[in-house]
Amino acid sequence: MNIGIFSGSFNPVHIGHLALANYLCEYEGLDELWFMVSPCNPLKREMQLLDDDLRLKLVKLAITEYPKFRASDFEFHLPRPSYTIRTLDELKRMYPEHSFCLIIGSDNWSLFSRWYQSDRIIAENHILIYPRPGYPVDATSLPEHVKLANSPVLEISSTFIRQAMEEGKDIRYFLHPAVYKELTR
């Protein structure tokens, strides 16, 4: 199977994540998409993360109705900091019957050279880039195994969700109903 690896903090998972993942499965040839809940991104300053198990639970609640989605705590069991190359290497070792495609936003592509062993990631893996506002990508200049998805651009972020909730805003339509219910109970 061709598996998309959508790694992130999902702090919390929101409809932007879900709509993008749905698009990538239906239009970019992915058999499944694994939401790889990350314990901590080494390139981001320490942010206030919801508990690992809660973030994983919220992803599981959000994806139950779509058979091509899987929630994964795979990175919870790897050495920290959580480097993408280690995750991809271990996935290939544990699941040799699958091929994996790393899914990243164009914002991350713009700083990809700062990723740990970025050259090796590019040389040994397929990468699918989705567009993010303010981070254009020239598809004609991409390396051989790197592709730009023609996915819709949704300007929703987990930061916006967290801030809105702290301000007491009713943002139920930005979250899967089960996630909203869990976060507001």
* 126 close to 100: Cβ distance less than 8 angstroms: yes
CA distance linking residue 105 with residue 111, whole number of Å: 10
Q: What does each of the 185 residues of the chain score in pLDDT, given as a tens digit?
A: 999 999 999 999 999 999 999 999 999 999 999 999 998 665 555 568 899 999 999 999 999 999 999 999 999 999 988 899 999 999 999 999 999 999 999 999 999 999 999 999 999 999 999 999 999 999 999 999 999 999 999 889 999 999 999 999 999 999 999 999 999 98
CA distance linking residue 166 with residue 153, whole number of Å: 25
The pLDDT, as a whole number, for residue 21 is 98
Concatenated DSSP letters of 74-125? GGGGS-SS--HHHHHHHHHHH-TTSEEEEEEEHHHHTTGGGSTTHHHHHHHS
What CATH class does 2-184 carry?
alpha beta
CA distance linking residue 66 with residue 57, whole number of Å: 16
First-to-last C-alpha distance (Å) of the chain: 38
CA distance linking residue 29 with residue 100, whole number of Å: 12
CA distance linking residue 63 with residue 49, whole number of Å: 20
CA distance linking residue 73 with residue 154, whole number of Å: 25
Number of helical H runs and strand E runs in the chain: 7, 6
β-bridge mates for residue 103, sequence order:
6, 128
The pLDDT, as a whole number, for residue 48 is 81
Angstrom CA distances, 28 to 2, 85, 124, stand at 10, 22, 19
CA distance linking residue 62 with residue 16, whole number of Å: 12
* φ, ψ for residue 69, nearest 5 deg: -100, 145
Question: What are the sequence ranges of the domains in the chain?
Answer: 2-184
- The pTM for the full model equals 0.93
* 175 close to 61: Cβ distance less than 8 angstroms: no
